[in-house]
Amino acid sequence: MAEDIVLGASVQLTGPVANTGRYYRDAYQFTIDKINEAGGIKVGDKQYKLALKLYDNQSDVNLSVRQYTQLVSQDKVNLLLGPFASNFALADSAVSEKYQIPMVQGGGASDQIFSRKFKYIFGTLAPASNYFGSTVSMMKELDPKPKSVALLYADDAFDVSVAEGTRPLLKDAGFTIALDERYTSNASDFNSLLSQIKNANVDVVLVAGHETEILNFVRQAKSLSVAPKFYSFTVGVPSEDFRKALDKDANYAFGMTAWLPSAKLKDKWFGDAETFAKEYKAKFGYDPDYHAASGAADVEALAQALENAGTLDPKAVRDAIAKLNFDSLYGTIAFGENGQIDLAQTVIQIQDDKLVAVYDAKGFVEKPKYPMPAWNAR
């Protein structure tokens, strides 16, 4: 009888960010089931199945830290998967470091997580500081070229990292930062910021925030008739829920993704990313986005590292994770010196209610719809 290797995680299944938290729960379980259906994994000369021990942190960071402590000290799980959101990954990775149990997480991208010289935390999201990198590259090539930019960001670890990385990118590209404003996470009222944007008459608005904030921002922009030439958001645009919630009002919004379900992304367990996306949708009833793909890649990284290490010893598995270089449905999994992956973001836009890839590392993929028309001209 195959024994189980238990992967432990605490994820937001209730509370304000449960909408994104479910991607991780679903992707973890889906990938574990897939690996088990194929016979599990071989570690040394023994065959194992994977199992998931999952808690709901209720979108509470302190509860999350307690649950990770329980996972390693009481539940004695073998290895850790991550929560969603940088402020959670920042706090929870202190537990994996203290107990020297590797954590692979695809939910936190803040540079801060990886700047502490920790040895046991690995991340499959690209650095937050470069989330707008491909967007700024594209902005330089737009016609007419925009001049002034408003940068808005929530006051959590991820969004602050995004803003810190975006400022120099904008300055080096010759854009004027006309507005640089931090707002409170979970803010619902953007009227005063939108009035400032309107008064400053900026060409571009870049917002680093959470999906509910972005929804409020777009709805209020419409009600105040604020329509810059271009707006882009760190979250929301890749998600089916976002497009459903806004319907036609989602059109023209730019966003970014480190992953699109392409058949070119070959994978040992799913075949390719397109197959993964189809099977995921059939099982859960909604399309996976890059959160789900990075969550699936986290499980695959642990499985691959266990096979490569040939032992369950957490230190040996940690060293095997650091040396990984394999093709997954999410892309090539190979961690940098600091434990983070660097994947280029593809700029995406909602055009005629569909998600379209418009710009990637090689340049324009499709023509962007730009400038954005006034709300009453749509």
**Which of these, 314, 317, 318, 348, lies nearest to 236 by C-alpha position?**
348
Say if residues 300 and 288 touch (Cβ distance below 8 Å). Answer: no
Mean pLDDT of the region 15-41: 96
Say whether pLDDT at 3 is over 70: yes
Task: Give the predicted TM-score (pTM) of the model.
Answer: 0.91
DSSP 282-307: HHHSS---HHHHHHHHHHHHHHHHHH
The H or E element spanning position 239 is: none
**Which of these, 86, 85, 83, 67, lies nearest to 75 by C-alpha position?**
67
Confidence of residue 1 (pLDDT cuts 50, 70, 90): very low
Say whether pLDDT at 344 is over 90: no
Write down the pLDDT at residue 343: 86
Mean pLDDT of the region 46-59: 97
Confidence of residue 342 (pLDDT cuts 50, 70, 90): confident
Write down the pLDDT at residue 254: 98
Say whether pLDDT at 2 is over 70: no
Mean pLDDT (the chain) is 96
Angle between helices 290-309 and 314-322 (to 10 degrees): 120
DSSP letter, residue 340:
B
| Ranges of H-type helices in the chain | 18-37, 61-73, 86-99, 133-140, 157-172, 191-200, 211-223, 240-246, 273-284, 290-309, 314-322
Q: Is 374 exposed, middle or buried (0-12, 13-18, 19+ CB in 10 A)?
A: exposed
